[in-house]
Chain A
């Protein structure tokens, strides 16, 4: 394995008495597609959120592209710019058009002039199939379209790593594929991706590696297809059986 782009050592996080992450060790290689599965409440979102410091870990060490994730503002700014995140509930800015949503980060963080930022935004919105919707407000878009804008918004910062937190869970079933399609394309382009998902078949298809989380720990990891075919841990087996029916 080449030098990892993400290095996580003994990561711990509690909310009050609730231990949500109980010592996570994980390396992710550049370009790797890591699929994270596990029951609700097992700490998957918290793990992702610790990687761009939306949550502050209680203990442990996180390093992203050689930069330690600590209290330093400079490191945090560099890391936030390298790590893009897409949320379950899209979280588009409702007072801005699709184009403005995508251009906001480049404008304010990268200090691009408005025209340049909007040119970048337009290119990305075309790429996710929304050339017709540049000037639409989020409320006029379908869930699938909104999520594709959210992906374009994260990509506009030109990140090295993309975090996807159950990005299709809030979508009507018939709109899921259009978002997965965009992610598939991104995977082919070599993006490093951490994907929390219940879309097991999609995970098995694009994932290089799959980890199963339960109660704040990584219980099992392996090649996705292998893991689906013959899960080792009884809890993984129970989880997959419940999910696949």
Chain B
């Protein structure tokens, strides 16, 4: 029992590495997507809109398989495509779209009077964004961002299909070794549950005492 727990928790390092790297990519890419969605330049808006539509229309599992096996097929047998970085790319590209929508909603949740006051003082468009709009937007989106992290954490289990030995893959290996399906999968589920409950309680703490909170779902966006 304890041996099994230790073995499964050995995958935690990889699960958390996937989470952190994918989240970093997702946040940076998400900022870019949000900027494009709000750009005065129509082609950028259209691109970002279509991108978000595309991501929402393709299952993450398929995106992951495509990036790993599909790319491997293109570059040929000689070059090894990294399973870890394929997974980070798939998760980052996917969550970049979700997080981008969160950021966009956050920026739009800031009162236009704030921008007017800043512009009237003589702040440039960039200074207004950097010193007035973004600090308020970030505060409004923090809970939604934590919720995205919870989803992402659970989705990292998909990396098992490309044999990355994170928690879920270790579960599969443990089942293959011992055939104790019920016990193993219950333990794997419990590990994820503990992690996500921790993150959710963080989200609730952030949400408390906050006036404007942005909520998002993973449904399709408004056209650009």
A residues at B contact (CB < 8 Å): 52, 54, 77, 80-81, 83-85, 87, 89, 91-95, 104-105, 108-109, 150, 153-154, 157
Please indicate which of the listed interface residues A52, A81, A85, A95 has the most CB atoms of chain B within 10 Å of its own CB.
A95
Query: A85 — which chain B residues lie within 8 A by C-beta?
Result: 117, 120
Residues A93 and B132 in contact in the complex (CB < 8 Å), given A87-B113, A87-B117: yes
Per the bound structure, the CA–CA distance linking A85 and B122 in Å amounts to 11
The answer to whether B136 touches A105, judged by C-beta atoms less than 8 angstroms apart, is no
Per the bound structure, the CA–CA distance linking A54 and B113 in Å amounts to 11
Partner of A91 from the list B117, B131, B135, B136 (CB cut-off 8 Å) is B117
Residues A93 and B120 in contact in the complex (CB < 8 Å), given A108-B127, A108-B131: no
Query: A81 — which chain B residues lie within 8 A by C-beta?
Result: 122
The answer to whether A87 touches B116, judged by C-beta atoms less than 8 angstroms apart, is yes
As a 0/1 sequence over residues 125 to 159 of chain B, the CB contacts with chain A under 8 angstroms (1 = contact) are 00100011001100100000000000000000000
Per the bound structure, the CA–CA distance linking A81 and B132 in Å amounts to 18
Per the bound structure, the CA–CA distance linking A52 and B121 in Å amounts to 10
**B123 contacts chain A at the CB level, 8 A cutoff:** yes
The answer to whether A77 touches B122, judged by C-beta atoms less than 8 angstroms apart, is yes
A-B pairs with the 9 shortest C-beta distances?
A: A91-B117, A80-B122, A105-B121, A91-B113, A109-B122, A85-B120, A81-B122, A95-B135, A108-B127
Quote the shortest CB–CB distance from B25 to chain A (angstroms).
27
5 residue pairs bridging A and B, Cβ less than 8 Å apart = A83-B120, A87-B117, A91-B111, A104-B121, A104-B131
**B181 contacts chain A at the CB level, 8 A cutoff:** no
Query: A87 — which chain B residues lie within 8 A by C-beta?
Result: 113, 116-117
- Additional A-B contacts beyond A84-B120, A87-B113 (5; CB < 8 A): A80-B120, A91-B111, A91-B116, A105-B121, A108-B131
The answer to whether A157 touches B116, judged by C-beta atoms less than 8 angstroms apart, is no
Task: Name the CB-closest residue of B to A139.
Answer: B211
Per the bound structure, the CA–CA distance linking A93 and B114 in Å amounts to 7
Residues A153 and B121 in contact in the complex (CB < 8 Å), given A91-B111, A91-B113, A108-B127: yes
Please indicate which of the listed interface residues B116, B120, B123, B139 has the most CB atoms of chain A within 10 Å of its own CB.
B120
Residues A157 and B122 in contact in the complex (CB < 8 Å), given A93-B132, A104-B131: yes
Quote the shortest CB–CB distance from B43 to chain A (angstroms).
23
Query: B127 — which chain A residues lie within 8 A by C-beta?
Result: 108-109
For B, the interface residue count at a CB cutoff of 8 angstroms equals: 17
**B204 contacts chain A at the CB level, 8 A cutoff:** no
The answer to whether B131 touches A89, judged by C-beta atoms less than 8 angstroms apart, is no
Query: A52 — which chain B residues lie within 8 A by C-beta?
Result: 120
**B119 contacts chain A at the CB level, 8 A cutoff:** yes
Query: A150 — which chain B residues lie within 8 A by C-beta?
Result: 117
Per the bound structure, the CA–CA distance linking A52 and B135 in Å amounts to 25
Instruction: List residues 36-58 of chain B with CB under 8 A from any CB of chain A.
Output: none
Instruction: List residues 94-125 of chain B with CB under 8 A from any CB of chain A.
Output: 111, 113-114, 116-123
The answer to whether B139 touches A95, judged by C-beta atoms less than 8 angstroms apart, is yes
The answer to whether B121 touches A154, judged by C-beta atoms less than 8 angstroms apart, is yes
Per the bound structure, the CA–CA distance linking A35 and B135 in Å amounts to 37
Partner of B119 from the list A80, A104, A154 (CB cut-off 8 Å) is A80
The answer to whether A108 touches B123, judged by C-beta atoms less than 8 angstroms apart, is yes
The answer to whether B139 touches A109, judged by C-beta atoms less than 8 angstroms apart, is no
Per the bound structure, the CA–CA distance linking A202 and B119 in Å amounts to 29
Per the bound structure, the CA–CA distance linking A157 and B122 in Å amounts to 9
Per the bound structure, the CA–CA distance linking A52 and B119 in Å amounts to 9
Task: Name the CB-closest residue of B to A81.
Answer: B122
The answer to whether B123 touches A105, judged by C-beta atoms less than 8 angstroms apart, is yes
Quote the shortest CB–CB distance from A96 to chain B (angstroms).
8
Query: A83 — which chain B residues lie within 8 A by C-beta?
Result: 120
Please indicate which of the listed interface residues B116, B118, B122 has the most CB atoms of chain A within 10 Å of its own CB.
B122
Please indicate which of the listed interface residues A80, A84, A150 has the most CB atoms of chain B within 10 Å of its own CB.
A80
Per the bound structure, the CA–CA distance linking A109 and B114 in Å amounts to 17
Task: Name the CB-closest residue of A to B138.
Answer: A95
Query: B136 — which chain A residues lie within 8 A by C-beta?
Result: 93-95
Query: B114 — which chain A residues lie within 8 A by C-beta?
Result: 91, 93
Per the bound structure, the CA–CA distance linking A11 and B113 in Å amounts to 24
Query: B122 — which chain A residues lie within 8 A by C-beta?
Result: 77, 80-81, 105, 109, 157
Quote the shortest CB–CB distance from A165 to chain B (angstroms).
10
Per the bound structure, the CA–CA distance linking A92 and B123 in Å amounts to 14
Query: A95 — which chain B residues lie within 8 A by C-beta?
Result: 135-136, 139
